[in-house]
Amino acid sequence: MTFRRIHTTLLVATISLAALSPLAFPQTNSPDPKTVPVIDGGIGPCSADFLVHDASGAPVYNAKIRVHIAYGFMNARKLDLEVGTNADGKARFEGLPNKLKHGGLNFSASHDDQEGSAFVDPASTCKAQLTITLEKPAAKKPE
């Protein structure tokens, strides 16, 4: 085979693959707003299920819940996790450690200009059910 023939064959193969790629890799639909989003830390057997709502008690969609975990020898390992809530204001963290040297886990949630938090000690509550109420933070007083 000549170089020109190899080049033409490769070009035709590339164009064919590009034309077939939408068929081979179909577009995925948007996620179901009722499915509870889950994030797995992979460092232990504990979990935390959340219900996030606003001051009026209405569930908050896509509120971001975050946690920072320091673990291991001298807390040298760090893990930052974040998950958004579904249409019912629910989200779940899995794979959380059951033993921490310095207390428990402080979860913070936010959506737009609202914030809230929850604390859990996995040593005493390994399968936590937590509710966070989001509120506007109090205005800081000038010094």
Q: Is residue 128 part of a domain?
A: yes
Residue 143 tokens read as 């010094």
Residue that wins the pLDDT comparison between 77 and 65: 65
141's CB contacts (< 8 A; 6+ apart) are: none
Whichever domain contains 113, its CATH number is: 2.60.40.1120
Q: Is residue 11 part of a domain?
A: no
Residue that wins the pLDDT comparison between 117 and 143: 117
Q: Is residue 88 part of a domain?
A: yes
Residue (of 72, 122, 133) closest to 93 by Cα position:
122
- pLDDT at position 11 over 50: no
Range of the domain at 105: 38-134
Residue spans of alpha helices (H) in the chain? 3-24
Q: What is the pLDDT of residue 31?
A: 65
Q: Is residue 91 part of a domain?
A: yes
**Which three-class secondary structure string do you get for 14-50?**
HHHHHHHHHHHCCCCCCCCCCCCCEEECCCCCEEEEE
Q: Is residue 19 part of a domain?
A: no
Q: Is residue 58 part of a domain?
A: yes
Number of domains in the chain: 1
From first CA to last CA, the distance across the chain in angstroms is 82
Q: Is residue 103 part of a domain?
A: yes
- pLDDT at position 51 over 50: yes
State how far the Cα of 59 lies from the Cα of 84, in Å rounded to an integer: 12
The amino acid occupying position 140 is K
Q: What is the pLDDT of residue 90?
A: 98
Average pLDDT on 15-21 reads 53
pLDDT in tens, 26-40: 555 666 778 999 999
Query: Other C-beta atoms within 10 Å of 77: how many?
Result: 11
**Entry field: residues in the chain:** 143
Residue that wins the pLDDT comparison between 126 and 11: 126
Average pLDDT on 57-73 reads 94
State how far the Cα of 63 lies from the Cα of 143, in Å rounded to an integer: 32
- Report pTM: 0.74
Q: Is residue 81 part of a domain?
A: yes
pLDDT in tens, 87-138: 999 999 999 999 888 789 999 999 999 999 999 999 999 999 999 999 998 8
